[in-house]
Amino acid sequence: MMGQCMRKPEAPEFNPAADWSELRQRLARLAMALTRSRDDADDLVQQTVVVLLTRKPDLADHGGYARRTMLRVWMDQHRSTRRRLSLWARVARSRVPWRIDTNDLAVSDRHAQVRRAIELLPPMQRAVVVLRLIEELQYKDIAEVLECSVQTVRANLHLARACMKTTLGPC
């Protein structure tokens, strides 16, 4: 046994279809929370995958890098004044209700109010709220994704919560 070479452990087989499917589902959930529209979420996922594959294909399946890339793509879309005005005009013309699978009207109504309050937040505050409450990331991870300090994350979350509290009123 002493003279025998030790074999390297075999790496698990890479299954691109399963791996991409899982990554796409995670990105789609985040995109839906950010855009509030199935079509816009699909477009955002598609743009993110294109950016991932053209810039750093070796990191394309890394969840943190993919999430950060998606947030950058989404925030870039919101930095343009013309796009922002177009978005608000679209939202003002037709509010797309969120679908809730529940029969309880009070819960359904409260969910709709919370989603409307999140919709009204500025992009950075909305991103922080989505990453904290929906993606359940820690402050440090949110700061890393958004490329800002932890204090900036906390400040934006504080402002977002205060704005939502004002919008929603007492629980």
Looking at the 3D structure of the chain, how many domains does it have?
Answer: 2
Please identify, among 95, 124, 141, the residue that sits at the C-terminal boundary of a domain: 95
- Per-residue DSSP letter, 110: H
Check whether residue 84 and residue 34 sit in a common domain: yes
Q: What percent of the chain has pLDDT above 70?
A: 69
Of 125, 153, 131, give the one whose Cα is nearest residue 30: 131
Give the tokens for residue 161. 């919560």
In a domain, 11, yes or no: no
Q: CA–CA separation, 68 vs 66, rounded Å?
A: 5
In a domain, 28, yes or no: yes
Give the tokens for residue 157. 């979350």
Cα torsion angle, 85, 49, 129, 109, sign: positive
Please identify, among 61, 95, 129, the residue that sits at the C-terminal boundary of a domain: 95
In a domain, 115, yes or no: yes
Q: Where are the alpha helices (DSSP H) in 80-149?
A: 81-93, 105-119, 123-129, 139-146
Give the tokens for residue 64. 């943190």
The model carries a pTM of 0.49
Structural domain including 125 reads 103-171
Check whether residue 91 and residue 107 sit in a common domain: no
- Per-residue DSSP letter, 3: T
Of 30, 49, 51, give the one whose Cα is nearest residue 41: 30
In a domain, 13, yes or no: no
Tell me the C-alpha to C-alpha distance, in Å, between residue 166 and each of 23, 85, 117, 133, 169: 36, 24, 9, 18, 5
pLDDT, one tens digit per residue, over 32-63 is: 888 888 888 999 998 888 888 888 777 766 77
Could you tell me if 153 and 144 are in contact, meaning their C-beta atoms sit under 8 angstroms apart?
no
pLDDT, one tens digit per residue, over 59-114 is: 766 778 888 889 888 888 766 655 555 554 555 444 444 444 545 555 677 778 88
The half-sphere exposure of 17 on its side-chain side, counting CA atoms within 13 A, is 0
In a domain, 10, yes or no: no
